[in-house]
Amino acid sequence: MSAAPSVHGDVAAGFGPVADAFRRNFTHHGEIGAAVAVYAGDEPLVDLWAGHRDRERVRPWERDTIVPMFSSSKGMSAFTLATAVSRGQLDYEQPVAKYWPEFAQAGKENVTVRQLIDHQAGLSGLSKIVKLRDLKDRAALAETLAAQAPAWEPGTRHGYHALTLGLYESELLSRVDPAGRSLGRYLADEVTGPTDADFFIGYPESESMDRVAILSATKGLDILRYEVRDVPFRLGLEFQTKRGYSYAALTNPRPGAPARAARREFLEVEWPGMNGVGNARAVARTYGAAAGRTGKLDISDAVLDLLAAADTDTTVPAADLVLHTQSRYHLGFRKSCGSFRFGSDKKAYGTTGLGGSFGFADPSTGLGFGYSMNRLGMAILDDVRSRNLREAVFRCV
């Protein structure tokens, strides 16, 4: 058992158990540095941070520390599309090719926006090798994305578009936005700006790297001490054989080692849904604005109702062709499915990130939740540290 660090921040009356769970993540689950936040609409109920920004435990985790949050960025990206839908610029049920004609290549002419963002389009991998520097050439990247043939018949199955989804979303959004903005720019102007959320897709040159926490891979004895592993056998097998949906989806574009993500050359590129950098407060504040319908987000009640739908599409089997687990995707977010449950009921929606980060909205209680950390856990979806925190939250509600 590790020593408990000093925990900084505040909790509202009645939410002390969340602070207790946060502290136990350090003493019992190998936390190095982390933050957790809960917002009821615009009101912070929990805002805590502790530990260190580096594995050597020299640089303290500060109030404004941010960290790469990987696929937790997908929820922030989904809010940008929801904003465009609310403004009548985009329709979830219309073909992507209506807005992006070149997308109709290779049998994709009938793929709807909903199918694309719900990981049903079969575009989880790319045939052409794409490197990090290639993501800066938006025109060339758009040609590559449009030319890609689906790996399965769109709308019949789903498989996690781990690295490609945000690239498709950004090009689609730029086609319907009157200003032609990329998703990262749109996010800053229309989502994180109004909510004052410290979250970026495309880290600005004006922002210092000093406050970005260094990530730490879990290895050696720490795997035995701290990890509850849930990596499906088939996913591991595909990586061993370098073939299959999982290998294709998780190796191209080539991100490099996750533990090396906290560097400017990686974070400065706009890679929506993949390389967002922020913290628990930013994510909880945004989800809280959606769950509590505070008006900070320019998303209509009708669209917020759609996001919070308890009954989602079950015509597509829950078996995820990429992650080899049970999944439900809904308008760019995750929903509870199988053993992975979050929120107070089926209306909750959010996204998880590689290593353990998580953010979600709970419309039935009006709460937004965010968790960020720098020790990269090995769970596919349900990291024990995040689970401990959110379960403590709902015991307090």
Is residue 231 in some structural domain?
Answer: yes
Task: Please write the tens of the pLDDT for every residue from 6-23.
Answer: 999 999 999 999 999 999
With pLDDT > 90 as the criterion, what percentage of the chain qualifies? 88
Q: How far apart are CA 116 and CA 152, in angstroms?
A: 13
Domain-located, residue 342 = yes
27 belongs to a structural domain: no
Q: Cα–Cα–Cα angle for 131, 137, 139, nearest 5°?
A: 125
Average pLDDT over residues 223-241: 75
Query: How confident is the prediction for the chain on average, in pLDDT?
Result: 95
In DSSP terms, 320 is beta-bridged to: 158
Q: pLDDT value at position 228?
A: 63
Task: Return the CATH number at 196.
Answer: 3.40.710.10
Residue 371 identity (one-letter amino acid): Y
Confidence at residue 226, expressed as pLDDT on a 0 to 100 scale: 77
Residues 76-97 pLDDT 10s: 999 999 999 999 999 999 999 9
Measure the CA–CA gap between 390 and 397, rounded to whole angstroms: 11
pLDDT of residue 229: 62
Tell whether the model's pLDDT for residue 331 goes beyond 70: yes
- Is residue 173 predicted with pLDDT exceeding 70? yes
Number of domains in the chain: 1
- Asked if residue 94 is part of any domain, the answer here is yes
Banded model confidence at residue 225, pLDDT cuts 50, 70, 90? confident
Residue 317 domain-assigned (yes or no): yes
Q: Residue 171: which of 189, 193, 147 has the closest Cα?
A: 147
In a domain, 107, yes or no: yes
Does 35 reside within a domain? no
pLDDT exceeds 70 at position 230:
no
Confidence of residue 241 (pLDDT cuts 50, 70, 90): confident
Owning domain of residue 305:
63-211+226-371
Give me the mean pLDDT over the 133-144 stretch. Answer: 96
Q: What 3-state class would DSSP assign to 263?
A: coil
Chain-centre distance for alpha carbon 61: 22
Query: What pTM was estimated for this model as a whole?
Result: 0.96
Count of CB atoms within 10 A of residue 248's CB? 20
Beta-ladder partners of 7:
50
Place 320 in a pLDDT band, splitting at 50, 70 and 90.
very high
Rounded to an integer, the average pLDDT of 288-317 is 95
49 inside domain: no
3-state secondary structure of 283: helix
